[in-house]
Copies of this chain bind each other. A is one copy, B any other.
Protein backbone atom coordinates (compact mmCIF):
# COMPACT_ATOMS: atom_id res chain seq x y z
CA UNK A 1 0.00 0.00 0.00
CA UNK A 2 1.19 3.52 -0.72
CA UNK A 3 2.96 5.26 2.12
CA UNK A 4 0.89 8.49 1.93
CA UNK A 5 -2.25 6.42 2.56
CA UNK A 6 -0.66 4.61 5.49
CA UNK A 7 0.69 7.89 6.87
CA UNK A 8 -2.78 9.42 6.70
CA UNK A 9 -4.22 6.51 8.68
CA UNK A 10 -1.40 6.56 11.24
CA UNK A 11 -1.84 10.31 11.65
CA UNK A 12 -5.57 9.82 12.36
CA UNK A 13 -4.52 7.57 15.23
CA UNK A 14 -1.80 10.00 16.34
CA UNK A 15 -4.32 12.84 16.64
CA UNK A 16 -6.32 10.76 19.11
CA UNK A 17 -3.15 9.65 20.93
CA UNK A 18 -2.08 13.27 21.36
CA UNK A 19 -5.43 14.11 22.95
CA UNK A 20 -4.75 11.49 25.61
CA UNK A 21 -1.04 12.29 25.93
CA UNK A 22 -0.07 8.84 24.69
CA UNK A 23 3.36 8.88 23.09
CA UNK A 24 3.36 5.48 21.37
CA UNK A 25 1.15 2.59 20.27
CA UNK A 26 2.15 -1.05 19.87
CA UNK A 27 -0.13 -2.63 17.29
CA UNK A 28 -0.24 -6.39 16.70
CA UNK A 29 -3.83 -7.45 15.96
CA UNK A 30 -4.62 -8.31 12.35
CA UNK A 31 -7.22 -5.70 11.45
CA UNK A 32 -5.14 -2.95 13.00
CA UNK A 33 -2.04 -4.13 11.14
CA UNK A 34 -4.02 -4.10 7.89
CA UNK A 35 -5.11 -0.57 8.74
CA UNK A 36 -1.70 0.80 9.68
CA UNK A 37 0.67 -1.35 7.63
CA UNK A 38 -1.51 -2.52 4.74
CA UNK A 39 -1.15 -6.24 5.31
CA UNK A 40 -1.22 -8.99 7.89
CA UNK A 41 2.11 -10.06 9.33
CA UNK A 42 3.15 -11.67 12.58
CA UNK A 43 4.84 -8.86 14.44
CA UNK A 44 4.37 -5.39 15.89
CA UNK A 45 3.86 -1.99 14.35
CA UNK A 46 5.36 0.50 16.75
CA UNK A 47 3.75 3.89 16.23
CA UNK A 48 5.41 6.78 18.04
CA UNK A 49 3.54 10.05 18.28
CA UNK A 50 6.42 12.10 16.88
CA UNK A 51 8.50 9.77 14.70
CA UNK A 52 7.91 7.41 11.78
CA UNK A 53 6.41 3.99 12.52
CA UNK A 54 8.65 0.93 12.78
CA UNK A 55 7.66 -2.62 11.90
CA UNK A 56 9.16 -5.32 14.12
CA UNK A 57 8.44 -8.52 12.24
CA UNK A 58 8.50 -12.17 13.25
CA UNK A 59 7.02 -13.74 10.12
CA UNK A 60 7.12 -13.99 7.16
CA UNK A 61 10.90 -13.71 6.89
CA UNK A 62 10.70 -12.19 3.41
CA UNK A 63 9.69 -8.62 4.28
CA UNK A 64 12.54 -6.12 4.43
CA UNK A 65 12.89 -2.36 4.04
CA UNK A 66 13.45 0.94 5.76
CA UNK A 67 12.05 1.03 9.28
CA UNK A 68 11.50 -2.75 9.23
CA UNK A 69 13.41 -4.86 11.74
CA UNK A 70 13.28 -8.60 12.47
CA UNK A 71 12.21 -9.63 15.98
CA UNK A 72 11.94 -13.06 17.61
CA UNK A 73 10.04 -12.22 20.77
CA UNK A 74 8.45 -9.13 22.29
CA UNK A 75 11.03 -8.96 25.10
CA UNK A 76 13.48 -7.61 22.50
CA UNK A 77 11.28 -4.62 21.69
CA UNK A 78 12.58 -2.00 24.17
CA UNK A 79 16.19 -2.64 23.05
CA UNK A 80 15.22 -2.52 19.37
CA UNK A 81 13.31 0.72 19.93
CA UNK A 82 16.41 2.25 21.52
CA UNK A 83 18.56 1.03 18.62
CA UNK A 84 16.23 2.97 16.31
CA UNK A 85 17.20 6.10 18.22
CA UNK A 86 13.75 6.36 19.79
CA UNK A 87 13.05 6.90 23.47
CA UNK A 88 11.26 4.21 25.49
CA UNK A 89 7.67 5.52 25.66
CA UNK A 90 6.28 7.13 28.79
CA UNK A 91 2.65 6.23 27.99
CA UNK A 92 2.13 3.30 25.63
CA UNK A 93 -1.22 2.01 24.41
CA UNK A 94 -1.99 -1.65 23.64
CA UNK A 95 -5.03 -3.25 22.02
CA UNK A 96 -6.81 -4.00 25.28
CA UNK A 97 -10.08 -5.27 23.83
CA UNK A 98 -8.42 -7.60 21.34
CA UNK A 99 -5.22 -8.96 22.88
CA UNK A 100 -5.74 -12.00 25.09
CA UNK A 101 -5.11 -11.28 28.78
CA UNK A 102 -1.84 -13.16 29.05
CA UNK A 103 -0.47 -11.83 25.79
CA UNK A 104 -1.31 -8.27 26.87
CA UNK A 105 0.46 -8.79 30.18
CA UNK A 106 3.51 -10.24 28.47
CA UNK A 107 3.75 -7.17 26.21
CA UNK A 108 3.16 -4.77 29.10
CA UNK A 109 5.87 -6.48 31.16
CA UNK A 110 8.37 -5.71 28.39
CA UNK A 111 8.05 -2.03 29.31
CA UNK A 112 8.49 -1.89 33.09
CA UNK A 113 9.23 1.86 33.14
CA UNK A 114 6.23 2.71 30.98
CA UNK A 115 2.62 3.48 31.83
CA UNK A 116 0.77 0.94 29.70
CA UNK A 117 -2.84 1.69 28.73
CA UNK A 118 -5.42 -0.75 27.30
CA UNK A 119 -7.24 1.90 25.23
CA UNK A 120 -5.58 0.99 21.92
CA UNK A 121 -8.56 -0.93 20.58
CA UNK A 122 -11.09 1.80 21.34
CA UNK A 123 -8.87 4.54 20.01
CA UNK A 124 -7.93 2.79 16.77
CA UNK A 125 -11.57 1.82 16.22
CA UNK A 126 -12.45 5.48 16.61
CA UNK A 127 -9.84 6.40 13.99
CA UNK A 128 -11.10 3.62 11.71
CA UNK A 129 -14.73 4.77 11.99
CA UNK A 130 -14.10 7.63 9.53
CA UNK A 131 -12.75 6.14 6.35
CA UNK A 132 -10.08 7.59 4.06
CA UNK A 133 -10.89 8.14 0.39
CA UNK A 134 -9.07 4.94 -0.48
CA UNK A 135 -11.05 2.94 2.07
CA UNK A 136 -14.31 4.34 0.69
CA UNK A 137 -13.16 3.28 -2.78
CA UNK A 138 -12.50 -0.24 -1.43
CA UNK A 139 -15.99 -0.40 0.07
CA UNK A 140 -17.45 0.98 -3.17
CA UNK A 141 -15.76 -1.81 -5.14
CA UNK A 142 -16.86 -4.28 -2.49
CA UNK A 143 -20.45 -3.13 -3.01
CA UNK A 144 -20.21 -3.58 -6.78
CA UNK A 145 -18.81 -7.11 -6.45
CA UNK A 146 -21.40 -8.00 -3.82
CA UNK A 147 -24.25 -6.84 -6.07
CA UNK A 148 -22.79 -8.79 -9.01
CA UNK A 149 -22.80 -12.00 -6.96
CA UNK A 150 -26.39 -11.49 -5.79
CA UNK A 151 -27.53 -10.77 -9.37
CA UNK A 152 -26.60 -14.37 -10.19
CA UNK A 153 -28.65 -15.93 -7.37
CA UNK A 154 -31.72 -16.65 -9.54
CA UNK A 155 -29.46 -18.57 -11.94
CA UNK A 156 -28.28 -21.01 -9.24
CA UNK A 157 -31.64 -21.55 -7.55
CA UNK A 158 -33.30 -24.87 -8.35
CA UNK A 159 -36.74 -25.96 -7.31
CA UNK A 160 -36.70 -28.29 -4.31
CA UNK A 161 -33.52 -26.86 -2.79
CA UNK A 162 -33.03 -26.45 0.94
CA UNK A 163 -31.69 -23.24 2.44
CA UNK A 164 -28.38 -25.02 3.01
CA UNK A 165 -28.07 -26.16 -0.60
CA UNK A 166 -28.77 -22.70 -1.95
CA UNK A 167 -26.48 -21.06 0.59
CA UNK A 168 -23.58 -23.19 -0.64
CA UNK A 169 -24.22 -21.99 -4.19
CA UNK A 170 -24.43 -18.35 -3.10
CA UNK A 171 -21.21 -18.68 -1.12
CA UNK A 172 -19.60 -19.95 -4.33
CA UNK A 173 -20.91 -16.97 -6.30
CA UNK A 174 -19.48 -14.61 -3.70
CA UNK A 175 -16.11 -16.37 -3.82
CA UNK A 176 -16.13 -16.27 -7.63
CA UNK A 177 -16.66 -12.50 -7.55
CA UNK A 178 -13.62 -12.18 -5.30
CA UNK A 179 -14.96 -12.44 -1.76
CA UNK A 180 -12.08 -13.50 0.49
CA UNK A 181 -14.54 -15.55 2.53
CA UNK A 182 -13.24 -14.73 5.98
CA UNK A 183 -15.79 -12.86 8.06
CA UNK A 184 -14.14 -10.44 10.46
CA UNK A 185 -16.15 -9.44 13.52
CA UNK A 186 -15.07 -7.38 16.51
CA UNK A 187 -15.60 -9.35 19.71
CA UNK A 188 -13.88 -12.69 20.25
CA UNK A 189 -17.03 -14.74 20.62
CA UNK A 190 -19.05 -13.63 17.57
CA UNK A 191 -18.60 -16.38 15.02
CA UNK A 192 -20.32 -16.77 11.69
CA UNK A 193 -19.38 -18.42 8.38
CA UNK A 194 -19.66 -15.90 5.52
CA UNK A 195 -23.13 -14.72 6.61
CA UNK A 196 -26.58 -16.22 6.60
CA UNK A 197 -29.43 -17.36 4.41
CA UNK A 198 -32.61 -17.40 6.46
CA UNK A 199 -35.79 -19.04 5.23
CA UNK A 200 -39.26 -19.05 6.73
CA UNK A 201 -39.55 -19.38 10.49
CA UNK A 202 -35.85 -20.12 10.88
CA UNK A 203 -35.33 -16.35 10.63
CA UNK A 204 -37.06 -15.98 14.00
CA UNK A 205 -34.67 -18.34 15.82
CA UNK A 206 -32.72 -16.12 18.18
CA UNK A 207 -28.94 -15.87 17.92
CA UNK A 208 -26.45 -16.01 20.79
CA UNK A 209 -24.98 -12.87 19.25
CA UNK A 210 -26.15 -9.36 18.53
CA UNK A 211 -26.61 -10.05 14.83
CA UNK A 212 -29.73 -8.63 13.19
CA UNK A 213 -31.38 -12.03 12.75
CA UNK A 214 -30.31 -15.43 13.99
CA UNK A 215 -31.19 -18.79 12.57
CA UNK A 216 -30.75 -22.18 14.13
CA UNK A 217 -27.68 -23.31 12.18
CA UNK A 218 -26.82 -26.88 11.18
CA UNK A 219 -24.97 -27.78 14.37
CA UNK A 220 -25.01 -26.57 17.98
CA UNK A 221 -21.31 -25.78 17.67
CA UNK A 222 -22.15 -23.02 15.19
CA UNK A 223 -25.58 -21.54 15.83
CA UNK A 224 -26.86 -19.10 13.21
CA UNK A 225 -27.93 -19.38 9.60
CA UNK A 226 -29.43 -22.23 7.60
CA UNK A 227 -31.06 -25.21 9.31
CA UNK A 228 -32.09 -27.36 6.35
CA UNK A 229 -35.45 -25.65 5.65
CA UNK A 230 -36.95 -26.52 2.28
CA UNK A 231 -37.38 -23.42 0.12
CA UNK A 232 -41.03 -23.55 -0.74
CA UNK A 233 -43.94 -21.47 -1.97
CA UNK A 234 -45.46 -19.10 0.54
CA UNK A 235 -42.23 -18.57 2.46
CA UNK A 236 -39.63 -15.88 2.00
CA UNK A 237 -35.90 -16.15 2.44
CA UNK A 238 -33.25 -13.54 2.91
CA UNK A 239 -29.67 -13.71 1.68
CA UNK A 240 -27.34 -11.74 3.98
CA UNK A 241 -23.72 -12.62 3.28
CA UNK A 242 -20.80 -10.48 4.35
CA UNK A 243 -18.89 -9.05 1.41
CA UNK A 244 -15.23 -9.26 2.29
CA UNK A 245 -13.71 -7.99 -0.94
CA UNK A 246 -10.20 -6.45 -0.75
CA UNK A 247 -10.33 -6.79 3.03
CA UNK A 248 -13.39 -4.54 3.36
CA UNK A 249 -16.61 -5.99 4.70
CA UNK A 250 -19.61 -4.56 2.93
CA UNK A 251 -23.05 -5.78 3.93
CA UNK A 252 -26.13 -6.39 1.81
CA UNK A 253 -29.37 -8.35 2.14
CA UNK A 254 -32.03 -9.17 -0.41
CA UNK A 255 -35.30 -11.09 -0.09
CA UNK A 256 -36.47 -13.87 -2.39
CA UNK A 257 -39.64 -15.88 -2.71
CA UNK A 258 -40.56 -19.06 -4.49
CA UNK A 259 -43.72 -17.94 -6.23
CA UNK A 260 -46.16 -15.62 -4.53
CA UNK A 261 -46.11 -14.61 -0.86
CA UNK A 262 -49.10 -13.60 1.26
CA UNK A 263 -49.95 -9.92 0.73
CA UNK A 264 -48.75 -8.92 4.21
CA UNK A 265 -45.19 -9.83 3.22
CA UNK A 266 -45.15 -7.24 0.42
CA UNK A 267 -46.64 -4.65 2.74
CA UNK A 268 -44.06 -5.33 5.45
CA UNK A 269 -41.29 -5.29 2.88
CA UNK A 270 -42.52 -1.92 1.64
CA UNK A 271 -42.43 -0.61 5.22
CA UNK A 272 -38.74 -1.56 5.44
CA UNK A 273 -38.04 0.22 2.16
CA UNK A 274 -39.83 3.28 3.53
CA UNK A 275 -37.74 3.15 6.69
CA UNK A 276 -34.66 3.06 4.49
CA UNK A 277 -35.99 5.97 2.42
CA UNK A 278 -36.78 8.04 5.49
CA UNK A 279 -33.38 7.44 7.04
CA UNK A 280 -31.58 8.12 3.75
CA UNK A 281 -33.44 11.43 3.45
CA UNK A 282 -32.47 12.48 6.97
CA UNK A 283 -28.99 11.07 7.49
CA UNK A 284 -26.17 13.56 6.98
CA UNK A 285 -23.21 14.88 8.93
CA UNK A 286 -24.28 16.11 12.35
CA UNK A 287 -27.33 13.88 12.70
CA UNK A 288 -27.23 11.66 15.80
CA UNK A 289 -27.48 7.91 15.29
CA UNK A 290 -30.32 7.60 17.81
CA UNK A 291 -32.40 10.02 15.71
CA UNK A 292 -32.22 7.60 12.79
CA UNK A 293 -33.01 4.60 14.98
CA UNK A 294 -35.99 6.33 16.56
CA UNK A 295 -37.31 7.31 13.13
CA UNK A 296 -37.26 3.66 12.11
CA UNK A 297 -39.06 2.45 15.21
CA UNK A 298 -41.72 5.17 15.05
CA UNK A 299 -42.45 4.47 11.42
CA UNK A 300 -42.72 0.72 11.94
CA UNK A 301 -44.81 1.23 15.06
CA UNK A 302 -47.27 3.48 13.25
CA UNK A 303 -48.06 0.83 10.65
CA UNK A 304 -48.41 -1.97 13.20
CA UNK A 305 -45.30 -4.04 12.54
CA UNK A 306 -43.40 -3.18 15.75
CA UNK A 307 -43.73 -6.69 17.19
CA UNK A 308 -41.97 -8.18 14.18
CA UNK A 309 -39.31 -5.54 13.58
CA UNK A 310 -35.69 -6.80 13.86
CA UNK A 311 -36.77 -10.22 15.06
CA UNK A 312 -39.67 -11.55 17.10
CA UNK A 313 -38.95 -13.08 20.52
CA UNK A 314 -35.44 -11.70 20.76
CA UNK A 315 -34.86 -8.50 18.80
CA UNK A 316 -31.68 -6.91 17.53
CA UNK A 317 -31.24 -3.59 19.29
CA UNK A 318 -30.01 -1.65 16.27
CA UNK A 319 -31.04 -0.94 12.71
CA UNK A 320 -27.58 -0.24 11.34
CA UNK A 321 -23.89 -0.78 12.09
CA UNK A 322 -20.59 0.62 10.90
CA UNK A 323 -18.67 -1.42 8.32
CA UNK A 324 -15.02 -1.54 7.32
CA UNK A 325 -12.28 -4.04 8.07
CA UNK A 326 -14.79 -5.58 10.47
CA UNK A 327 -18.53 -6.04 10.07
CA UNK A 328 -19.32 -4.22 13.31
CA UNK A 329 -17.52 -0.91 13.47
CA UNK A 330 -18.70 2.48 14.68
CA UNK A 331 -21.17 4.11 14.27
CA UNK A 332 -24.08 1.99 15.48
CA UNK A 333 -27.58 3.12 14.57
CA UNK A 334 -29.19 2.24 17.88
CA UNK A 335 -31.20 3.73 20.75
CA UNK A 336 -29.42 6.25 23.00
CA UNK A 337 -26.51 6.56 20.53
CA UNK A 338 -25.68 10.24 20.63
CA UNK A 339 -22.78 9.83 18.20
CA UNK A 340 -23.22 12.09 15.17
CA UNK A 341 -22.56 11.08 11.59
CA UNK A 342 -19.40 12.44 9.96
CA UNK A 343 -18.39 12.54 6.30
CA UNK A 344 -16.47 9.34 5.50
CA UNK A 345 -18.32 7.12 7.90
CA UNK A 346 -19.65 3.93 6.31
CA UNK A 347 -22.47 1.80 7.64
CA UNK A 348 -24.98 -0.87 6.76
CA UNK A 349 -28.64 -0.05 7.25
CA UNK A 350 -30.87 -3.07 7.66
CA UNK A 351 -34.53 -2.54 8.53
CA UNK A 352 -35.97 -6.05 8.62
CA UNK A 353 -39.25 -7.63 9.65
CA UNK A 354 -39.82 -11.30 10.43
CA UNK A 355 -43.36 -12.56 9.74
CA UNK A 356 -44.44 -15.75 11.56
CA UNK A 357 -45.23 -18.51 9.11
CA UNK A 358 -43.78 -16.55 6.20
CA UNK A 359 -40.23 -15.47 6.95
CA UNK A 360 -37.98 -12.43 6.73
CA UNK A 361 -38.53 -9.35 4.60
CA UNK A 362 -36.73 -6.03 4.43
CA UNK A 363 -33.53 -4.65 3.03
CA UNK A 364 -29.89 -4.06 3.78
CA UNK A 365 -27.49 -1.79 1.94
CA UNK A 366 -24.07 -0.33 2.62
CA UNK A 367 -23.81 3.46 2.72
CA UNK A 368 -21.17 6.15 2.95
CA UNK A 369 -21.74 9.52 4.62
CA UNK A 370 -20.96 12.34 2.19
CA UNK A 371 -20.74 16.10 2.77
CA UNK A 372 -24.50 16.51 2.18
CA UNK A 373 -26.11 13.19 3.03
CA UNK A 374 -25.51 9.48 2.51
CA UNK A 375 -24.80 7.52 -0.68
CA UNK A 376 -25.70 3.90 -1.37
CA UNK A 377 -22.83 1.52 -2.23
CA UNK A 378 -24.76 -1.68 -2.93
CA UNK A 379 -26.88 -0.95 -5.98
CA UNK A 380 -29.34 -3.68 -6.95
CA UNK A 381 -33.12 -4.12 -7.23
CA UNK A 382 -34.74 -3.94 -3.82
CA UNK A 383 -38.15 -5.52 -4.33
CA UNK A 384 -38.82 -9.09 -3.25
CA UNK A 385 -37.37 -11.19 -6.04
CA UNK A 386 -39.65 -13.96 -7.28
CA UNK A 387 -37.92 -17.21 -8.23
Interfacial residues, chain A to chain B (CB-CB below 8 A)? 1, 28-30, 34, 38-43, 58-62, 94, 96-105, 118, 121, 165, 168-169, 171-172, 175-176, 178, 180-182, 188-189, 191-194, 205-210, 214, 218-223, 246-247, 313-314, 325
Contact = CB atoms under 8 A, between A and B. Distances in A.
A61 B96 contact: no
A314 B168 contact: no
B207 A60 contact: yes
A242 to B, nearest CB: 12
A223 B40 contact: yes
Contacts of A314: 59-62
A42 B209 contact: yes
A98 to B, nearest CB: 6
Report copies per complex. 2
A178 B164 CA distance: 10
27 contacts: A29-B189, A30-B191, A34-B220, A38-B220, A39-B221, A40-B220, A42-B209, A59-B210, A61-B206, A61-B314, A62-B205, A62-B313, A62-B314, A97-B102, A101-B104, A101-B118, A102-B118, A168-B172, A168-B175, A172-B172, A178-B218, A180-B218, A180-B222, A182-B191, A188-B188, A221-B246, A221-B247
Nearest to A108: B101
Contacts of A30: 189, 191
B207 A180 contact: no
B181 A34 contact: no
Given A96-B102, A182-B191, 15 more contacts: A1-B220, A40-B223, A59-B208, A60-B206, A61-B206, A94-B101, A97-B100, A98-B188, A100-B104, A101-B104, A168-B175, A171-B171, A172-B172, A180-B221, A188-B188
A62 B206 contact: yes
Given A168-B172, A189-B28, A191-B40, A222 B207 contact: no
A1 B220 CA distance: 9
A246 B172 CA distance: 21
Nearest to A209: B42
Contact of A222 (B97, B121, B247): B247
Nearest to A208: B42
Contacts of A100: 96-101, 104, 188
